[in-house]
Amino acid sequence: MNEIILLKLGEIVLKGLNRRSFEDRLIANAQRRLRPFGAFRVYTRQSTLYVEPQDAACDLEGAYGAMKKLFGVAGLSRARSCPKDKDALVAAAQDYLGDRLAAAKTFKVESKRADKSFPMTSIQLSQYVGGELHDRYPHLKVDVRRPELTVYLEIRDYAAYVHPGPEAGAGGLPVGINGRAVSLLSGGIDSPVASWMIAKRGIALDMVHFFSYPYTSLEAKQKVLDLAKLLTPWCGRLMVHVVPFTAIQEELRRSCPEELFTILMRRFMMRIAQRVARRIQAGAIVTGESLGQVASQTMEAMKATGAVCDLPILRPVVGMDKEEIVTIARKINTFETSILPYEDCCTVFTPRHPRLRPLPGEIEAAEAKLDIDALVQAAVEGIERVRVDP
């Protein structure tokens, strides 16, 4: 009898005529994530994705861990397959879940009969298998409300399956099904969370990081690459575009009012991010802005920084407070890296009294002193591209 991973599809089941394209994307993503763990056959049937090892060398534990972070999956379980026969199910349950049955005090059996040609109803099958297991484990008591262990039986097209219940999956939609975007990745807490949230909505990402050496250290740059690495189990392979930002910041300090520095800096970031997006044919820019969190994240400031872009700006954490963002950061394992004490470029030349609500025309007047195109072009030409693999 073989062990297999069953993945329950999430939002994909609500799709209509284009559902197949979502399933194909999910299968392709799963196959890429599974390559380090051996040879697996991946296929869909009846709103379930099957991940079937092809030989004994497959690392099922590693594969299961990778599938837990696969966007597009609502739930997953490791299961034992067997023939579609009531006594084969009893034997499979005893063999596969014997240790759990011996350790539990209460249990129940829950059946799902997707193959309606199976001769027993779900209730009849649960009663039969439950009775047989009770005979083999007489210490067990049946508790249909709050059992210590639930034995799940599924009768499907190709085989029957026994498992101890599904775990929650990553949810969302398959990465790449909704196109590509560039995400501004700093060394802070918010931007990795924003990137994760937008990837969950089916968007493939390239990362853009603004690096102000020597004002920010090589350790700060490595911290950002480490954050990108932590995102790859969810997002897949990432390209990090490291933008040299020092010259722009020094020119702003020389030529512009100090209180406008943060907004002007953000406008340059958006211009450069849009140039990167155009180059890779991305359709949007993603930021980790949260309304009111810092001076550059008032409505007026966000309007001013977004005004230099034609592409949509996606702000998935805009309505979240810090504690909500930190909760997600801990969940996706980026928090501890984000709080390492290496400064990013946003902390360089921070004005003492930043302008919260710029007046009409004053941003444009300050920028009139700058050769914007030349500064942006020089930064784009100096981009270092670092590929980060899962």
Q: What is the CATH number of the domain that holds 213?
A: 3.40.50.620
pLDDT of residue 341: 83
DSSP classification of residue 344: -
Structural domain of residue 309, as residue ranges? 180-388
Statement to judge: residues 97 and 209 lie in one domain? no
pLDDT in tens, the chain (390 residues): 489 999 999 899 888 889 999 999 999 999 999 999 999 999 998 889 999 999 999 999 999 999 999 999 999 999 999 999 999 999 999 999 999 999 999 999 999 999 999 999 999 999 999 999 999 999 999 999 999 999 999 999 889 999 998 999 999 999 999 999 999 999 899 999 999 999 999 999 999 999 999 988 899 999 999 999 999 999 999 999 999 999 999 999 999 888 898 899 999 999 999 999 999 999 999 999 998 877 678 888 899 899 999 999 999 999 999 999 999 999 999 999 999 987 766 666 676 777 777 777 889 999 999 999 999 999 999 999 999 998
Statement to judge: residues 110 and 135 lie in one domain? yes
Total count of domains within the chain: 2
Statement to judge: residues 322 and 198 lie in one domain? yes
- The residue among 146, 170, 194 that closes a domain is 170
Q: How far apart are CA 381 and CA 378, in angstroms?
A: 5
Q: How far apart are CA 202 and CA 177, in angstroms?
A: 5
- The residue among 113, 139, 170 that closes a domain is 170
Q: Which runs of E-coded beta strand occur in the chain?
A: 3-9, 40-45, 48-53, 73-82, 106-113, 141-142, 149-155, 160-163, 167-171, 180-184, 204-211, 238-244, 285-286, 313-314, 384-388
Q: How far apart are CA 214 and CA 384, in angstroms?
A: 16
Q: How far apart are CA 193 and CA 293, in angstroms?
A: 15
Statement to judge: residues 276 and 375 lie in one domain? yes
Q: How far apart are CA 187 and CA 217, in angstroms?
A: 12
DSSP classification of residue 145: S
Statement to judge: residues 52 and 159 lie in one domain? yes
Looking at the domain assignment, is residue 7 inside a domain?
A: yes
Looking at the domain assignment, is residue 175 inside a domain?
A: no
Q: How far apart are CA 117 and CA 114, in angstroms?
A: 9
Statement to judge: residues 213 and 163 lie in one domain? no
Looking at the domain assignment, is residue 25 inside a domain?
A: yes
